[in-house]
Structures are given as C-alpha cells and as structure tokens.
Structure 1
Amino acid sequence: MARIVGLVGAMATTVGVAACASAPDRRAAIETPPPSCREVTIPVYFEANDADITPEGRRVLAAETQAVRGCRIEGVRVVGLADAVGDPAANLELSKRRAASVAEAIKAAGLPDAEFEVAAAGQAGSVAPDGQLRPVRRRADVTLRLSPP
C-alpha cells in the first residue's frame, strides 16, 4: 500500500512540475521603461562639517547612476556647498572637499568616461536677499547632462 501511495505521489509531482514548465512566463510581459535621457540634478547631503559621503548619499548616487545606464553622458558637474556658519575660507575648503568626494564616488560607480567639472561655492548663496540663512546647504549638487544613446 505504501508503494502505491509513493507511486501516486511521484506521478502527481511529475504532473505538477510539467504544468509549471508549460505555464506562460508572466514576467516576460513586464518591460523596463527606457531611461529618461535628459539633464538631472542629484543633491547629495552631508553631516555638518564633514565631507564623507553618508550611507544614504551612497545609496542615492548608486540608484541614480544605475538609472542613467542607458544614456549617453555628455558631462558631469559637481558643485560643493556649505552653510554660512563659521569662517568663509573654511566653508569654501569644506565645499571643495565635498565636491571632490562626490566626483570620486561617481567615477567609482563605473559611469562611462565623461567630461567632469568640479566646483565649490562655499557659503556663497547661503544667505537670502532678506538676510535669512538658507538651511540644509551641507550638500553637493551633481548635474548629469544626458542624451539618448
């Protein structure tokens, strides 16, 4: 009796596996849309007084560089920024280090060779015309100039 049950179980498994093999692949119908090959600006934020890219900043860069893989990269502009708190010369140096850190991370991500422009704004522009400080300037802005392949 155990032998009959085992035989029936083996036959049911074989039929089940065969049915799976003949089922249509629904994933084949899902298409990944082509990348939008236009200019995109990506802000990468830093901790106060720091030029090391945070784990979140690395995730943002990885996702964005992956999203533009199908595009032709015409150029990359990285501008480091800093708050208006502290010495202007120190803020300019900090923004230079932030821009360099992001540029290195982008190159390490394996994007095709592109013309890189790396600049630092320091605290320039961190105070609005009405005298108010503009918050959250601890960042580098990455602009990717893209075109279709």
Structure 2
Amino acid sequence: MKNSTVLFAIFGLMLAGCSGTTVVLVPDATGKVGKVSVKTKAGEQLLSQSGASTFAGTVDKAPSQVQVLDSTKIQDMFGTALANEPAPPLHYSIYFKSGSAELLPDSKPLLMTMFKAIQERKSCDISVIGHSDRVGDNGTNKGISLKRAESVANVLKTIGLSGDCLDVRYYGENDPVVPTADNVAEPRNRRVEIEVR
C-alpha cells in the first residue's frame, strides 16, 4: 500500500466467508481527504474521495472496484474504531525576546490556554522544544533554546503538570520556521513549540 498526500484510512479485517482487508478513505481531523493506493500482485485501486472503499481478499486477486460508502455505512462498519481514535495532537508556539528566555507579553495568555487543553485531555505526553534565531553562535543559541524550553516546562510544572509528562528538547538555530542567513534576527524563530498528545 502506498500513500500520497495527507490521508486517513481505516483498515478493517472482514470475516464474512473469506478474510481480507477493506480500506475506506475518510477525511482527517481538518476535513482534508488525501489519496491511498491499494495494490496486490494482480492489480491496484486508487482511493481519492471521502468514503471511497475497496476490498483486497488475497495477494493474487486484484482489489475490488471502488465503491463510495456513505457515512452511515462507515459508522456501521467502523464506529467502534472511530470512537476510540485518539484526538490529533495540539500544537502551540510561545515566542521570546531576543537573546533571552523572557516571554513576549502576547505569549503569556497562551500558556493558560495550553494548560487548560492539557487538563481537558488528561494528557501526560507533552513535548516542549526550544529554538532560537541565528543571531550569535550556535553554541550560545543552543543554550538559549534550552533555557526557553526549561522556562516553559517550569511554568507548566508550577501550574500543576507533572515533570514526568514532559519531554524537554532544544535545537538552537538548527530548526528555523523561517530560514535566514547567519546573524539575522527573526522573531518567529525565537520560540518554544509545545505538542500535546
């Protein structure tokens, strides 16, 4: 099976006289539908619209003709799996003053919004990743990005999050949102990214 673009597919094992795999293409959390190619030795089917479905019984038989299933049929077939699907990760970016671990004023309210989302999810799987712009040398910038990540992690711990739930990392200037030349001050690169799973 080969993926292209963004997709979310449901794979189900169907046991109705013979076994095989039913593949149904459904939108991702943002509503986007990608494409998936279902291939056996004997043929291939491309699924490219919401609800598109095919059945692959054996490797020596081509997948069935594409059928489009309505949402009721998809719920009947895969409702339990869909109900137990984890929520997609939440992403936040907190920004800092140049050369320091001091938050920009606009970023402070986002910390509480983020903490509420963590509480609602009951999450204990959070990445806190520090970054810097390219002003100064990379060694110094790695230190600044670590201090930024640690400062956000400390705020989260202060408001009740367990340190065991945090994966704190830092990349210095090595993973910019906006690529720049050396010694260019780019505010969007002076950040901590938080991913809540």
Asked if TM exceeds 0.5, the reply is: yes
* 2:101 aligned partner: 51
Q: Which has the higher helix share?
A: 1
Q: By how many angstroms is 1:100 displaced?
A: 0.2
* 1:63 aligned partner: 113
Answer with 1 or 2: which has the greater Rg: 1
Q: 2:141 aligns with which of 91, 96, 103?
A: 91
* 1:107 aligned partner: 157
Q: By how many angstroms is 1:69 displaced?
A: 2.2
Q: By how many angstroms is 1:134 displaced?
A: 9.0
Give the gaps of 5 or more residues in structure 2: 1-85
**Whose relative contact order is higher, 1 or 2, with alpha carbons under 8 Å and at least 6 apart?**
1
1:60-108, Cα deviation, whole Å (9 max, x unpaired): 0101211342212131111100011211111010000000000111111
Alignment partners' CA distance in 2, 1:140 and 1:113: 17
Q: Which runs of 4+ in 1 moved over 3 A?
A: 111-114, 130-135
Cα root mean square deviation, aligned: 2.6
Count residues with an aligned counterpart: 109
Give the gaps of 5 or more residues in structure 1: 1-35
* 1:80 aligned partner: 130
Alignment partners' CA distance in 2, 1:95 and 1:40: 21
Q: Which has the higher strand share?
A: 2
Q: Compute the TM-score of the two structures, normalised by the length of structure 2.
A: 0.49
Q: Compute the TM-score of the two structures, normalised by the length of structure 1.
A: 0.63
Alignment partners' CA distance in 1, 2:185 and 2:194: 19
* 1:48 partner SS: coil
- AA partner of residue 93 (structure 1): G
